[in-house]
Chain A
Amino acid sequence: DAGVTQSPTHLIKTRGQHVTLRCSPISGHKSVSWYQQVLGQGPQFIFQYYEKEERGRGNFPDRFSARQFPNYSSELNVNALLLGDSALYLCASSFRLAGGGGEQYFGPGTRLTVT
């Protein structure tokens, strides 16, 4: 079975532009989370969606938004890009919203560079 997939792999954007990142969860997983990982730091939680509803939002500005589609895939949108948005954006899927062993499975990430 395929793991979590993300596209694109790499992206270079200019300040002020917007970007859309895409994620497909593991088949059967209904929860998708987005994380931002800046070089040298741990992933920082941005959003979680479960059954197409937002179930959590981290400490990120309103320039960041996301949505989940009926097939449980997800998009992360970032508007008015800043140099500080340069990071690895990770998508993670999990089967349950709560309980269980707590496993979440990460995709390979999208490396965003803002110039």
Chain B
Amino acid sequence: GQQVMQIPQYQHVQEGEDFTTYCNSSTTLSNIQWYKQRPGGHPVFLIQLVKSGEVKKQKRLTFQFGEAKKNSSLHITATQTTDVGTYFCARRGTNAGKSTFGDGTTLTVKP
């Protein structure tokens, strides 16, 4: 199936530094979703991108979908300790409840 690969697997930053995680696919994606899972918690839907070159912002988070629709990125500006968690990208299937997830990037933030 269409797998999505995420890099890096882990990222440790000092509070206030920026953070970026990347999601790549060998095939063209019709959409890309991003989720956040806090330690011990469950995935929380953040956003879905569907258009080539699309850029969306949520406060300090910037999501981008590549022009070729084969990659995506999530950038966090000036990280805070509340940003700690694992960020997953996922490809939504034909139906809304059928997503294929990457293995995530785990972010730790040192105060």
Chain B residues numbered 1-22 whose CB sits less than 8 Å from any CB in chain A: none
Of B31, B92, B95, B97, the most chain A CB neighbours within 10 A belong to B97
User: A-facing mask of B67-111, CB < 8 A → 1, else 0?
Assistant: 000000000000000000000101011111111111110000000
Q: Which residue of A has the minimal Cβ distance to B46?
A: A103
Q: B43 at the A/B interface (Cβ < 8 Å)? A: yes
Judged by DSSP, the binding face of B is loop
A41 to B101 alpha-carbon distance, docked (Å):
9
Chain A residues numbered 36-52 whose CB sits less than 8 Å from any CB in chain B: 40-45, 48, 50
Q: A94 at the A/B interface (Cβ < 8 Å)? A: yes
> B101, A98: Cβ atoms under 8 Å?
no
Chain B residues numbered 43-70 whose CB sits less than 8 Å from any CB in chain A: 43-45, 48
> B92, A102: Cβ atoms under 8 Å?
yes
**Which listed residue, B45, B95, B104, touches A56 by the CB 8 Å rule?**
B95
Q: B24 at the A/B interface (Cβ < 8 Å)? A: no
Q: A100 at the A/B interface (Cβ < 8 Å)? A: yes
> A104, B97: Cβ atoms under 8 Å?
yes
CB of B70 to closest CB in A, whole Å: 18
Instruction: Rank and list the top 10 A-B pairs by shortest CB-CB distance, nearest first.
Output: A42-B101, A33-B97, A102-B48, A106-B42, A94-B96, A56-B98, A48-B97, A31-B97, A94-B97, A103-B45
